[in-house]
Structure 1
Amino acid sequence: MIPTEQQVDEDVEAVLAGSRAVVGISVRSLAEAMESLTLQQYRVLVLIRSRGPLRSGALAAAIGVHPSTFTRAVDRLVAGGWVTREDNPDTRREVLVAPTEQARDLVDQVLARRRTAFEDVLGRMDDDGRAAVREGFARFAEAAGDTDMPEATTLGYES
């Protein structure tokens, strides 16, 4: 059965409402981190927290900035105590950017706040509602082709 235009509109509005709720939770989980960092800086910390130390060029490409611009961003993160620069043990010509304990703790705290907020919302739902959300999100992610979206990692969503 082909959905009517009205049904499509209602479906889109429901997805937009749900996505606003998810984005709202994500933004609130980041609020404390944003007092000390820019979103771009936080994205760098998430990447190196989840993937381990990375070359500056790889990090710049992952967040979509020019390497020369990124060098200045890393300088600020080093000065703030968020990252260190280390020689790559495999090749002395490369420098790796690694998170400090302070950075690892911050990312872990943001992710924990986000998880707790989602648990709270789901806890207000009955079993059938949670099952419907679980199935709906799984189907939506599959249809979107974003079941393993690397860009999400830069915002703190682990696959």
Structure 2
Amino acid sequence: MPATEDTQRTVSALMMASRAFVGITARSLAGIDADVTLPQFRALMVLAMRGPQRPADISAELKVAPSTGTRMCDRLVRKQLLRRTRTPSDRRVVRLRLTPAGRELVEQVVRARREELTAIVAATAEHWGPPVTAALQAFAEASGELPEQDWWLGWADGEESEIAV
């Protein structure tokens, strides 16, 4: 089914907006002077949103080869932003979780992104109304994103029930 002209314009606008969002994230990350790449930050965000995960789960979420995901997570462990843990019930299963430093980094970047987005929305206030907000929410939901208030909810830290490795 060929795309209509309206669909093509919408996709073009979303492509520009996605580049803008990546730029905002890159600036936010650079602003905290962290030695973390955008793909590494995406891995941290997966853990912030979903709680402890196996390296294979993170690789699948990021759509990278398992070996690539493992190397990325190894670097984040060395940077002390992630910690490996094992569950006492099955010591073969390794899960990755954010360290306090990893959580703080995510919170700083999200805070900086929010500040920049707030400034952009304020500068373009005449274009933001309930239909635009509803469309963006529907888009985010259709892409599998969690509402922001649900990020840190839905998973317990469970530090006491796992063993650091």
Match of 2:127 in 1: 129
Query: Which of 1 and 2 has greater Rg?
Result: 1
**Match for 1:121: what amino acid?**
I
Look up the SS of the partner of 1:147 in the other structure: helix
Contact 1:60-1:66 at 8 Å conserved across structures: yes
SS at match of 1:53: coil
Change in Cα spacing, 1:50 to 1:90, as seen in structure 2 (3 Å) is farther
Give the TM-score normalised by the residue count of structure 2: 0.68
Q: Quote how far apart the aligned CAs of 1:56 are.
A: 1.4
Q: 1:52 to 1:72 in 2, by over 3 A?
A: same
Residues 15-30 of structure 1 correspond to what in structure 2 (within 5 A)? 18-30=17-29
Match status 1:80 vs 2:82: no
Structure 1 regions of 5+ residues with no counterpart?
none
Could you tell me how far apart the structure 2 residues matched to 1:64 and 1:112 are? 26
Task: Give RMSD over aligned pairs.
Answer: 3.1
User: Could you tell me whether the CA contact under 8 Å between 1:33 and 1:42 is conserved in 2?
Assistant: no
CA distance in 1, matches of 2:10, 2:92: 53
For residues 68 and 15 of structure 1, what CA distance do their matches in structure 2 show?
Answer: 31
Cα distance in 1 for partners of 2:25, 2:57 equals 25
Q: Give the whole-Å Cα distance in 2 for the aligned partners of 1:35 and 1:65.
A: 23
The 4+ residue runs of structure 1 with deviation greater than 3 A are 7-24, 32-35
TM norm structure 1: 0.70
Structure 1 distance, partners of 2:132, 2:43, is 31
- C-alpha distance in structure 1 between counterparts of 2:68 and 2:29, whole Å: 24
Q: Deviation per CA, 1:35-75: give whole Å up to 9, x if none.
A: 40122211111111221111111112111222233333222
Q: What stretches of structure 2 of length at least 5 have no aligned partner?
A: 152-165
Instruction: Give the match's secondary structure for 1:54.
Output: coil
1: CA distance between counterparts of 2:83 and 2:90? 17
Residue 101 of structure 1 deviates from its aligned partner by 0.7
Q: Distance in 2 between matches of 1:19 and 1:45?
A: 19
One-letter identity of the residue aligned with 1:103: G
Match of 1:47 in 2: 46
Quick one: which of 137, 143, 154 aligns to 1:149?
143
Structure 2 CA distance for aligned equivalents of residues 17 and 69 of structure 1: 28
Number of aligned residues: 144
What percentage of residue pairs aligned between the two structures are identical?
Answer: 33
Change (3 A) 1:98 1:14: closer
